[in-house]
A and B are shown apart, each in its own frame.
Chain A
């Protein structure tokens, strides 16, 4: 008998909680809408939002990308492909750099992997196209003229590779080249 009443109480509590849920949900009728009416109202997008990918330039205006392939390796959907080439001055650069945005998931791993801060994600998310083929971006679509989020970084000032205007020993923290013929300790 005790069990029966306990069950009865449980049933009433159950009915009550269900009804309460319904009332609570119904009360949302009079709440403020959270939806932003997008095309008319532009949402606020933070500066580090992960949207359209760009290739930036270093403070001297040269391409930052050295075609090291790390972004491509990090990309979980394999939507980045590029080919390394070398300029006459010894700089590495991508002969082509292709991102298939129809595959991109905007995870930002490419940006994390990039050792030269070249590849960056921007707050532009309006990438819609009517033809999928138009979502394949080549280097000319990706390369911008600015430095993006990192205004000061220049990889070649730190790397040991010599390029025109920066011979061996001229990079940051580098000593002058060793004179092999010297016997001084």
Chain B
């Protein structure tokens, strides 16, 4: 604690921070550019100058950069001092000498930190009469637009991209005022986290290209607090809507989860919401093609269809909310409700849920992952299955700098000093994976092997840590040495971390990870276990403990059940085509989904369900955090024909008709509460966000910024007679600019912040105003509720002991392994055009040596026998793939369903 004096007032601050950090945390405005809470201080831009005084009697003072000055006890500074104000005005004027006359045609305009800071410092007129330096732009791929003229050389982009995110292909070139931030040559930015450049860059050098085509200003968008649907991490997002389309995803700060950064899948993968081929009205099949019906008729039709069946089953979905899955479970009954994961995946996810929910292990949030000082990644390709965890793991490795600096009494915000001290020293990160991963560059040790061998490595590490853990026999010498290194590294750490998950498709990998954690717990270590699950609500669905999909398909195939209700799920991604075809062939199929999937095509009735943008829902992320996403916009407002409703709403209507019961759920809160009451393991989910009755100062929270424009014209082409603004009976948010906008402390729940804005702060930097401390937690507490917390001293003493046999390659037979892809590997984001552009085409991956043995080379076609059907795919040579395995890209558009761990045959295609 330290007392600082700012403009004659006393404040109590944490003396370890710099002055800029301290003042911003106090709510005092100091303009800045190069500083960022996650990137630290480098003192490059000179914008945050303030006057510092020796003591209370010093009238002269001197100008210092607040970001480079510690807030030690007894600091006297002045922000409002005339000399420092003039200094700051000069600095921004210099920065603006080369800034182009672009604001009207700049995608950053309206949420631009440079605009905000220029206004804050009072610079309005360009006095510099000479020429502006210009730059050529580069093509940086489908996500990011580059406009170098706008650069103010703050170096935030490279500091983020290279230092923070570990990218290698964005650099700084040139000298003096000619410096250029870009790639060596035009080309796609390689980092999976390049999208954050749009928010890190204080001006419009890097902007969101996916938004550019259908651009609109931030103030014109309707936002809602939302949860990314791309993976199980559950990053908080702010999707923005205009004219009935989602236009952009912005990061929504959550101090425990994603804080300032998202991955590119999450940021750019929203396009599926806007697809023209979405069912926007309930569809009923007539003579082989779909006909749109009014909602009541469609529901009646579906109810009659189900009534005519002797047994109706329901298949849930890991990409549907808890409420949607619960509504289905209520409709068909718990015994007829089945898990929507593929059968194999479902087992793994339930296993992961069991390990985490028992309360024996600590489960890290992303923030905690970043603070670990050693990590063991067992089998999971986190960059592709849960990308944001990979970015967090980079901070784990980088944390070594902070430790070293602390020993030398250097504050951790001294970014340049930290980099100098750290050099190439990193916290140990051990990566065991099937194929090379994108975090291998920061790994102390890597191990590439078939999933069975990875599991064996994990078991062996557990044994090496704690001898009571089951031992693994038959390890080779290199592996034994590696096991010892890993065990020693984890034991030497204060806060070791184990990351694993369902990605390999092998249950014993999860067992092994759990063993390592238990062994470390036995040694008294403060260890965390992060288990990655496949989809946004995989954990939530697993907690519902439904029977596996194989049983559902079997029941349909055998005729034991003759009608099925599928909610937001494409069964063709979950099981072989032949099996699904056979199951659906004789069944009456009702699908509620927001995408026209292959399964929906087979349905008699398709109920136009809401995506995350049109409905509310609760999802549980991989750490067991229940989080609420809110409806962003009302699609009916722009087109009265559109009938998009949440799946639970459709199913509730359907249930009323089907079971002849009065519909008991009127609003979202009703179904949410019913779900929690029916399923005690979900206890707490209702508290993920305040209910619909919540008000701030008697007001709902506004979804639209109060400068929202065009309210009386946007719909005037349909009718000049304006309807009443859409009403939201389900939540405490309003479809309007009217409502609460404030940032004030205390009672504003973080789950109800649709977008970041504060007076004078239009850019994402305005999150400053919502945080208890800049870069810390939100004032209302970080959003979301953890459904399971570790209980102290509850470590289990037993170990898993199902150690698999070592994998051995057999001639002519190949073990399938999953290859994950951040772009294209996930169903929904793959339906967004920019992501599809980055997605791989279907392929089979083989080790070059294996390819040689088959006598084929890269890109040549191979016949693959998959789940009973033969497909022909091009070959991709993967030098790091273990011999005897064949890598199949999981879930990529055009790939047939393939089960990991199966044994298949490959044959070269003979030239016809």
> Which A residues form the contact surface with B (CB < 8 A)?
66-70, 72-73, 75, 77-86, 92, 96, 98-100, 102-103, 115-116, 132-133, 135-136, 138, 155, 158-162, 168-169, 171, 173-178, 180-183, 185
Residues of the A chain whose Cβ atoms lie less than 8 Å from the Cβ of B716:
79, 81, 98, 100, 136
CB neighbours (8 Å) of A96 from chain B are: 717
Asked if B136 lies at the interface with its beta carbon under 8 angstroms from chain A, I say yes
B100 A83 Cβ-Cβ under 8 A: no
Tell whether, in the assembled complex, residue A178 and residue B714 are in contact, meaning their CB atoms are under 8 Å apart. Answer: no
Among B133, B137, B712, the residue within 8 A (CB) of A100 is: B712
> CB-CB < 8 A to B212: which residues of A?
86
- Is the Cβ of B712 less than 8 Å from the Cβ of A168? no
Given A73-B219, A81-B709: A176 in contact with B105 (beta carbons within 8 A): no
**In the complex, how many angstroms separate the beta carbon of B148 from the nearest chain A beta carbon?**
9
Contact at A77–B104, with CB atoms within 8 Å? no
Distance A145 CA – B133 CA, assembled complex (angstroms): 35
B710-A159 in contact (CB<8A): no
Q: How far in angstroms is the closest Cβ of chain A from B725?
A: 12
Q: Is the CB of B100 within 8 A of A159?
A: yes
B131 at the interface (CB under 8 A from A): yes
B837 contacts the other chain (Cβ, under 8 Å)?
Answer: no
Contacting A at CB under 8 A, from B673-709, are: 707-709
Question: A75 CA to B226 CA in the complex, in Å?
Answer: 30
Residues in B with CB closer than 8 Å to A116 are 104
Residues of B contacting A169 in the complex (Cβ-Cβ under 8 angstroms): 134
Asked if B712 and A77 sit within 8 Å, CB to CB, the answer is: yes
Cross-chain contact of A174 among B109, B134, B708, B717 (Cβ < 8 A): B134
B736 smallest CB distance to A (angstroms):
12
With A99-B713, A180-B178 given, is the CB distance from A68 to B216 under 8 Å?
no
Contact A160 B219 (CB under 8 A): no
A85, B104: Cα distance in complex, Å: 13
Residues on B with beta carbons closer than 8 Å to the beta carbon of A72? 220, 709-710, 713
Most buried by B among A67, A84, A182: A84
Query: In the complex the two chains form, is B717's CB within 8 Å of A136's CB?
Result: yes
The verdict on B796 contacting chain A, using a C-beta distance below 8 Å, is no
Convert B113-154 into 0s and 1s, putting 1 for each residue whose CB lies closer than 8 angstroms to a CB of A. Answer: 000000000000000011111111100000000010110000
Cβ 8 A contact of B134, one of A77, A78, A83, A176:
A176
Q: Is there a chain A Cβ closer than 8 Å to B721's Cβ?
A: yes
Which B residues are closer than 8 A to A by beta carbons? Answer: 100-106, 109-110, 129-137, 147, 149-150, 173-176, 178, 180, 212-217, 219-220, 243, 707-714, 716-717, 719-721
A81-B131 in contact (CB<8A): no
Q: List 7 A-B contacts (CB under 8 A).
A: A69-B216, A83-B214, A86-B213, A98-B716, A161-B102, A177-B134, A180-B173
Q: A78's contact among B101, B110, B711, B720, by CB below 8 Å, is which?
A: B711
Contact status of A178 and B133, CB under 8 A, knowing A78-B709, A100-B716 = yes
Interchain CB contact under 8 A, B105 and A159: yes
By beta carbon, the residue of chain A nearest B217 is: A69
Contact of A161 with B713 in the complex, beta carbons under 8 Å? no
CA distance A169 to B98 in the complex (A): 11
Cβ of B205 to closest chain A Cβ, rounded Å: 12
Q: Given A80-B713, A83-B214, decide whether A68 and B109 contact each other with a Cβ distance below 8 A.
A: yes
Tell me whether A178 and B174 are in contact (CB under 8 A): yes
CB-CB nearest in chain B for A72: B709
Across-interface contacts of A135 in B (CB, < 8 A): 720
Give Cα A61–Cα B491 distance, bound, in whole angstroms: 74
Cβ of B214: which chain A residues have Cβ within 8 Å of it?
A: 83-85
> Is B135 in contact with A69, judged by CB distance below 8 angstroms?
no
Say yes or no: B713 contacts A79, CB within 8 Å. yes
Q: Tell me whether B131 and A173 are in contact (CB under 8 A).
A: yes
Q: Which residues of the partner chain A approach B709 to less than 8 Å between Cβ atoms?
A: 69, 72-73, 75, 78, 80-81
- Given known contacts A78-B709, A83-B216, A180-B178, A168 and B109 CB-to-CB distance under 8 angstroms: no
Enumerate chain A residues within 8 angstroms of B104, measured Cβ to Cβ.
66, 68, 70, 92, 115-116, 155, 159
In the complex, chain B residues whose CB is within 8 Å of the CB of A182: 174, 178
Of chain B, the residue at the smallest CB distance from A74 is: B709
Complex contact B712–A73 (CB within 8 A):
no
A138 with B717: CB separation less than 8 A: yes
Looking at A103, A161, A181, the one whose CB has the most chain B CB atoms below 10 A away is A161
- With A66-B104, A178-B133 already in contact, the answer to whether A102 and B711 are too (CB < 8 A) is no
Q: Which of B136, B174, B178, B712 has the most CB of A within 10 A?
A: B712
Say yes or no: B720 contacts A136, CB within 8 Å.
yes
A178-B178 contact given A73-B709, A80-B710, A100-B716, CB 8 Å threshold:
yes
Cβ–Cβ < 8 Å partners of A161 in chain B: 100, 102, 105-106, 147
Residue in B closest to A116 when the chains form the complex, CB atoms: B104
A95 to chain B, nearest CB (A): 9
A155 vs B103: C-alpha distance when bound (angstroms)? 11
Given A68-B104, A168-B149, A175:B134 Cβ within 8 A: yes
Name the residue on A nearest B245 (C-beta): A83
Q: How far does the alpha carbon of A102 sit from the alpha carbon of B716 in the complex, in Å?
A: 10
- Looking across the interface, which residue of chain B has its beta carbon closest to that of A138? B717
Q: Which of A75, A99, A155, A180 contacts B180 (CB 8 A)?
A: A180
Who on chain B is nearest to A96 by CB? B717
Q: A80-B713, A92-B105, A158-B101 are in contact. List 14 more A-B contacts (CB 8 A).
A: A75-B709, A77-B712, A78-B713, A81-B709, A100-B720, A132-B721, A138-B717, A159-B105, A160-B149, A173-B129, A174-B131, A178-B134, A178-B174, A180-B135
Cβ B216 vs Cβ A168 within 8 A:
no
- Whole-angstrom distance from the CB of A164 to the nearest CB of chain B? 14
Closest to B709 in A: A72
Chain B residues in 8 Å Cβ range of A85: 213-214
- CB contacts (< 8 Å) of B132 on chain A: these are 160, 173-175
Taking A160-B150, A185-B176 as contacts, is the C-beta distance between A73 and B707 under 8 angstroms?
yes
Cβ-closest chain B residue relative to A98: B713
Q: Closest 8 CB pairs between A and B? A: A160-B100, A81-B710, A68-B104, A72-B709, A78-B711, A81-B713, A175-B131, A100-B716
Which chain B residues lie closer than 8 Å to A168 at the CB level?
Answer: 134-137, 149
A159 to B110 alpha-carbon distance, docked (Å): 17
- Determine how close the nearest CB of chain B comes to the CB of A109; give it in whole angstroms: 11
CA–CA, A10 to B651, complex, Å? Answer: 84
Most buried by A among B147, B215, B707: B215
**Contact: B131 with A102, CB < 8 Å?**
no
Distance of A179 from chain B, by nearest CB (Å) = 8
Which of A66, A79, A133, A178 lies in contact with B712, CB distance below 8 A?
A79
Q: Contact at A83–B133, with CB atoms within 8 Å?
A: no
Q: Given the complex, which residues of B lie within 8 Å of A175, measured CB to CB?
A: 131-134
List, in ascending order, chain B residues with CB within 8 A of A173's CB.
129-132
Query: What residues on B are CB-neighbors of A103 within 8 Å?
Result: 712-713
CB distance from A73 to the nearest CB of B (A): 5
By a CB distance below 8 angstroms, the chain A residues around B129 are 173
Residue in B closest to A131 when the chains form the complex, CB atoms: B720
B135 touches A98 (CB 8 A): no
**Distance between Cα atoms of A120 and B132 in the complex (Å):** 30
Residue on B nearest A95 in the bound complex, by CB: B214
**Of B109, B131, B134, B713, most A-chain CB atoms within 10 Å:** B713
* Complex contact A84–B215 (CB within 8 A): yes
Which B residues touch A159, using CB under 8 A?
100-102, 104-105
Q: How far is the CA of A12 from the CA of B198 in the complex (A)?
A: 80
Is B134 a contact partner of A81 (Cβ separation < 8 A)? no
Kindly provide the distance from the CB of A132 to the nearest chain B CB, expressed in whole angstroms. 5
Question: What is the distance, in angstroms, from B14's C-beta to the closest C-beta of chain A?
Answer: 39
List of A residues within 8 angstroms of B213 by Cβ: 85-86
Distance of B142 from chain A, by nearest CB (Å): 15
When chains A and B are docked, how far (Å) is the Cα of A167 from the Cα of B175?
Answer: 23
Chain B's closest residue to A168 (CB) is: B134
Q: Which residues of A have CB within 8 Å of B216?
A: 69, 83-84
Q: Kindly list chain B residues whose C-beta atoms are within 8 Å of the C-beta of A83.
A: 214, 216, 243
With CB as the reference atom, state the residue of chain B lying closest to A157.
B101
For the complex, what is the distance from the CA of A183 to the CA of B179, rounded to whole Å?
Answer: 11
Nearest CB of B to A75, in Å: 6
Q: How far is the CB of B541 from chain A (nearest CB, A)?
A: 39
